[in-house]
Structure formats: structure tokens, C-alpha cells
Structure 1
């Protein structure tokens, strides 16, 4: 007689931390997902390692990545022109040409003004050879009066020498050639991005049907970038006019050039006015001595610091949803990654990073409340409500 063995019942497998045995649900889809096989600490370490690799890769290709990101920012800013033309029945090629012409005219106008101003500066600098020599002699006497030896005096005063003007002109020419070479690449990238931007709203509408969070994050980045550039442009014009009139009243050479420099450096958060202060302060020292230089520095700090470092960050933070500390840290980080161009793109790149890493996932959207200017929770992204998303 053969005896059948009774099947041994298996114990019910229950997920740790849950008493009902149900699978955890995804916060956005509600579908059950399997428990993570890795501890949370390992996941965090892997994320940090991936971040280090990504940042190192961006630094290695910063010469290419910087102009591409600048072209992306300009295209995103001017894209409503093409969208408006398409909405009013214009053909795609007309909207594309209008978008390209707008961006090119802005760049060429700004670049032409800089080239003209730099040419005037190069013609002006050789006149200050004697002033540089006098500055070296004064610095040598001052250091010698403090008991510093001749060798140390020579090392300290080496930058202030008669040939310093020639070196400065050579550096200006080298920088202009570098900007010009990158400018051709920038114009080429802008051409293709502007042509694609005409059809991009339709592509976003199709993608929103499958990935509404991704589309909402991208649209949030575009809207935040436009608001940031609008606010910065308005404040830049105000600062440029005030600085130009102030330098003209003080008798500083090329006041229009330094006003234009103030307008450009206004896009650098928090400390942009410091970059624009150095050249007119140096010219003030060469023209009228330390008293005129101190006057330039005092007036710049009074006007530019109050506007650019006190008033503007508050309004920019309210417009883009980033706190002042996050804006400053983003300036330091992106300048370290991309160089000087990263300082100009710090806020737009931070908005893009926030959109792709925070706003894209409802499970991480709470981080937006920690880095926002007022600490209020972020509203759901526009892509989470496809029916309410505008076509542009």
C-alpha cells in the first residue's frame, strides 16, 4: 500500500514593514512594485557615485557643453515667437526663420557692441604706460618703507610693470579670438535648435499622453527660464543706465563699455557686479589716483550691491522658485563645472536640473519646498494635468 505524502503548506511571505502582505504602490501610478533589493544607504551611495561621474564628464567636455546649453537657453527664451506665428497660421519655415533671425540679431547686436567697445579699449590702453610705471614706483617705495627686502619687493610689484598694458591687450585679444571661435559653433547649434523648436510643442503634446510628468517638468523649466531672463534683463538695463551716467559724471573713460559690461554681468547671480567693477576701478586709479578709484568702488557698491545683491535676488527667487542660498551655490557649482559661461547659465541650469530630478517624480517633489524662495510646497507640474496644459 503506497502512502501519499501530504503537501506541506508554505508560510505566507510578507513584506517587511507591512502587515497586510500587499505590495507597495507607486505614488503616481498606483501599481504594485516589488520591494527594493538594496538597502537605502547603498542606493544613496550609488546615486552619489553616478553624480560624481556625470559631473566629471561635464567638466571634461565643458568647451562643447557650455555653448550648447547657452544655445538651448536662448532657443527656449525666444521659442514663444515661433509658437505665436504657428498659432496664427504661419507656415513652419516662416516661424523657423523668424525665430532664427530674432536670436541671431540679439547675439550679433550684443557681440558687435562688445567688439567695438573692445577696439576702443585697445586703442586707449597704451596711453597708460606711464601710469603703470608710476604705480610700480609708488608700490616699491611703499613696500620698502615697511622694511620688505628688495627681492620680495620685486616679486610683489612684478604684475605692476610697464609691459603690463601690452600683456593686458594681448589677453583681451586672445579672449576675443576664443569667444569668436566659440561663436561660430554657437550660431550653428542655434540654427538647428531653432528649426526644431518650431515643431517641439506638437511633440510635447504627443509625449504628454505617455509621460505627463516629464513634459510638465520641461515646461516648468522653460517658463522659469523665461521669467528669470525677463527679470534679469529689466534689472540689467536699470543698472547699466545708472552705471553709465555715474561713470560719465566721474570722468571715467569708455563709460558705455562699462555700462554694457554691467548689463552682461547682471545675469551672474549675487556677485556679478564685482566682475563689472574691476575695469572701471582700475581706470579710475590710472586716471585720478586712489581717490577716484575709491569713489568708483563706493558708488558701484551703493548702487549695484543694493540692486543686484539685495533687491534682484528676492524678485528672481520669487519668479523662479529658488532661494537665495540655492542661487548662490548654483553659481559656485556651475562656474566650477563649465567655467565663466557656467556663471551666466547658473540659474537656468539649476532650473533644468530641478525639473529633471525633482519635479519629474511626485515622490521627490517635496524637495522643491526645501529649495524654494518662500518654503511653500510646489504645485503639481503642468504635465500632471494634460487637459489643462496649454499647447505652447
Structure 2
């Protein structure tokens, strides 16, 4: 406990030191924190389904079992599509290598008309198969990935099973109509709303982008659509990262016109899906300043790796909500320009 006689400056320094200690502790235990965080996000994502199944008359245990089975089937389908598409790309890599040499020759001819000369001998020696395999292996090994998913699945199962009981205990401890319970409900509802809407938006985006690439005939279209769905959780840069391999393979197959066509479609989908559709699906606009979003992605990515990047916005929202619940720290949200989010939500709840 901090002594009462300490000055405000000393308490501020102590709070800053505590934050740094927490950050260091999280960094040192990033694997466990990432596992728990991903399990928590999945639990929040499936809570609406749990409530719906219980309203249909299913017991809590049976509802959790149904959701777990459905989630396992979805994850299995994602893994199958990823592995199958990846194997097809590796099988056709010799063809891509030849197309790569042809496209480089075309590019050199085009640049020479503008008086630009490039050496393509060293570029031709690039082995696309080695780069592609190394890039995937650099993310994670198969054993580590499967082990991580197994622990996430087990943790999510028991979290979902325990969620209703935790709510009952929380209400019994503080009172069903207490301000603490209302604030907790506001926090969880806010995060669930964002995650569900973000998932729906990413699904639409991935289907449209993957469908266009399939019609166009780009190799690995299903894989790039799936990548769009997964990386869409990363603000701004996620969709760009997902589009890069699709643009590259479109260039290999169809030359510069193919790459330009994919770029145009990416821009159109970003304008349509990320604005009108996202705004239509969500009950509010999550207008967070771009600087805060970018810094959040950088910070959580450094702290927790790829999981932190994927769930940077939910993590940031949780931190902002905690600040909003404190009368002494609420000014930080106003200073960052996000206080209006909670004010709008409060008005809607009151109405």
C-alpha cells in the first residue's frame, strides 16, 4: 500500500514504474499470455452462440460441446485449405520459376524504354521455392502451431464452460444491479460487439477477394482469401500484407495488367467492405485515431508477437475501458480522443 503522505509526483512515478514492471513480466511470459488472450478472444466470440443455444433449450454443457465441435470443424477446414493450397503452390513452383524469369525480362524491356537499366542475372538466381518455404517455416513450425492450437482449444473450452458461472459469482459478490456489474457488462459487451463485427467483416472481405482471384484464375486463390480473413484483424497493414502474395502471383501469371487488376480490386474492396459494410454491421463507429491504432499494432506486436498484432485493437479497447472505469484516469481517454466512444455507448444504454 502506498503511504498517504507521499506526494502526487511520487505516486505518479510509482505508477509508471509499476506499468514498466508489468510490461516486462508480460514480455517474459508472452507465450502464456498469448495463449490466454487468444482463448479469451475466442470465448468472447462464441458467447453469443452460447446464449442462443441455451435459449433454444440446450443445457450449458451441451451448448459448449456443440460450439467446441463447430469450432474444431472450422479450424480443421482452415488448416486443410491452407495445407492443400500450399502443397499445390509448391508442386507448381518450377512453372512459377520460369514465369518469374519471363516477367523479369519483360520488366527489363519496359524499364529500358525509359532509359533505366537493371541487372537481372542475380535476380534470376532467386529460388522461389526456397523463399516460400522459408517464409512459412519462419512463422512457426507445424508441431509448435498444433500444440499452441491444442492448448488454445482446451483453454477456450473450459473458459466457455465457466463463463456463466463466473457471471453468477460476480453478480452474487457485487450485486446484480451494482455499478461494478454494469460496468463489467458494458466492457464485455463492447469487446464482443467489436470482435463479432470484425470477424463478419473479415469473412465477407475474404470471400469476395478469394472469389475474385478464383474467377481470375490466380494460383492459390483460396489461400489468399483465407489470409485476407486472418490478417484483416490487423488494422491498415493486415489487408496490405494479405494482398502482396496475390498481387505477386497475378503478376507472374498475367504480367503487369494482372497485378494492376488485383491492386484495383483490393482498393475497391477496402473502400466497400471497410467502410459501408463495417459501419452497417456494427451499432457504432469505432473511430480511434490512426496514430493510436498504428502504435497499438506496433506495441502489442512487439509484446506478444503475431497474436498481439491480430488482437491489437481488442487489447487496446480493454485498456481504454479500464481507464474509462477510473475517475482519476478517465482524462487520458479524452486526451487521446477516444472518450466519445464510451459517451455514445452510455447514452445508448441509458436510452
Relative to the length of structure 2, the TM-score reads 0.80
Number of equivalenced pairs: 342
Task: Decide whether aligned partners of structure 1 residues 216 and 166 sit closer, same or farther in structure 2, where only a CA change above 3 A counts.
Answer: same
Task: Decide whether aligned partners of structure 1 residues 164 and 229 sit closer, same or farther in structure 2, where only a CA change above 3 A counts.
Answer: same
* Cα deviations by residue, 1:245-276 (Å, 9 ceiling, x for unpaired): 33234331122222222222222222221011
CA contact (8 A) 2:86 2:220 kept: no
* Cα deviations by residue, 1:31-65 (Å, 9 ceiling, x for unpaired): xxx99422322222222222222222222222222
Q: Which of 199, 211, 217 does residue 233 from structure 1 map onto?
A: 199
Task: Decide whether aligned partners of structure 1 residues 224 and 161 sit closer, same or farther in structure 2, where only a CA change above 3 A counts.
Answer: farther
Number of the residue aligned with 1:168: 132
For residues 313 and 373 of structure 1, the distance between their equivalents in structure 2, rounded to whole angstroms, comes to 19
Task: Decide whether aligned partners of structure 1 residues 41 and 146 sit closer, same or farther in structure 2, where only a CA change above 3 A counts.
Answer: farther
What does 1:172-251 align with in structure 2 at a 5 Å threshold?
172-173=136-137, 175=140, 177=142, 178-209=144-175, 212=178, 214-251=180-217
Task: Decide whether aligned partners of structure 1 residues 336 and 268 sit closer, same or farther in structure 2, where only a CA change above 3 A counts.
Answer: same
What is the CA-CA distance between 1:73 and the residue it aligns to?
Answer: 0.8
CA contact (8 A) 1:213 1:359 kept: no
Number of the residue aligned with 1:336: 302
What does 1:257-268 align with in structure 2 at a 5 Å threshold?
257-268=223-234
What is the CA-CA distance between 1:84 and the residue it aligns to?
Answer: 4.9
Q: Which of 62, 65, 73 does residue 94 from structure 1 map onto?
A: 62
Number of the residue aligned with 2:27: 59
For residues 212 and 67 of structure 2, the distance between their equivalents in structure 1, rounded to whole angstroms, comes to 36
Give the greater-gyration-radius structure (CA). Answer: 1
CA contact (8 A) 2:218 2:249 kept: yes
CA contact (8 A) 2:201 2:278 kept: no
- Give the SS at the match of 2:343: coil
For residues 20 and 203 of structure 2, the distance between their equivalents in structure 1, rounded to whole angstroms, comes to 38
Q: Which of 249, 274, 291 does residue 283 from structure 1 map onto?
A: 249
Q: Which of 340, 343, 350 does residue 378 from structure 1 map onto?
A: 343
- Give the SS at the match of 1:289: helix
Task: Decide whether aligned partners of structure 1 residues 165 and 190 sit closer, same or farther in structure 2, where only a CA change above 3 A counts.
Answer: same
- Is 1:128 aligned with 2:93? no
CA contact (8 A) 1:266 1:272 kept: yes
More deviation, 367-376/173-182 = 367-376
For residues 345 and 327 of structure 2, the distance between their equivalents in structure 1, rounded to whole angstroms, comes to 8
For residues 116 and 217 of structure 1, the distance between their equivalents in structure 2, rounded to whole angstroms, comes to 46
For residues 215 and 176 of structure 1, the distance between their equivalents in structure 2, rounded to whole angstroms, comes to 42
Task: Decide whether aligned partners of structure 1 residues 182 and 138 sit closer, same or farther in structure 2, where only a CA change above 3 A counts.
Answer: farther
For residues 293 and 243 of structure 1, the distance between their equivalents in structure 2, rounded to whole angstroms, comes to 14
* Cα deviations by residue, 1:312-353 (Å, 9 ceiling, x for unpaired): 776799737552433343223212211121121112111222
Q: Which of 266, 273, 277 does residue 239 from structure 2 map onto?
A: 273
* Cα deviations by residue, 1:153-173 (Å, 9 ceiling, x for unpaired): 88xx56x63423223124325
CA contact (8 A) 2:197 2:278 kept: no
* Cα deviations by residue, 1:134-190 (Å, 9 ceiling, x for unpaired): 5677889979x8688x8xx88xx56x6342322312432563514223212212222
For residues 71 and 182 of structure 1, the distance between their equivalents in structure 2, rounded to whole angstroms, comes to 11
Task: Decide whether aligned partners of structure 1 residues 80 and 308 sit closer, same or farther in structure 2, where only a CA change above 3 A counts.
Answer: closer
CA contact (8 A) 2:35 2:148 kept: yes
Report the RMSD for the aligned CA atoms in angstroms: 3.8
- Is 1:44 aligned with 2:12? yes
Bigger helix share: 2
Gaps of 5+ in 1: 1-33
Gaps of 5+ in 2: none
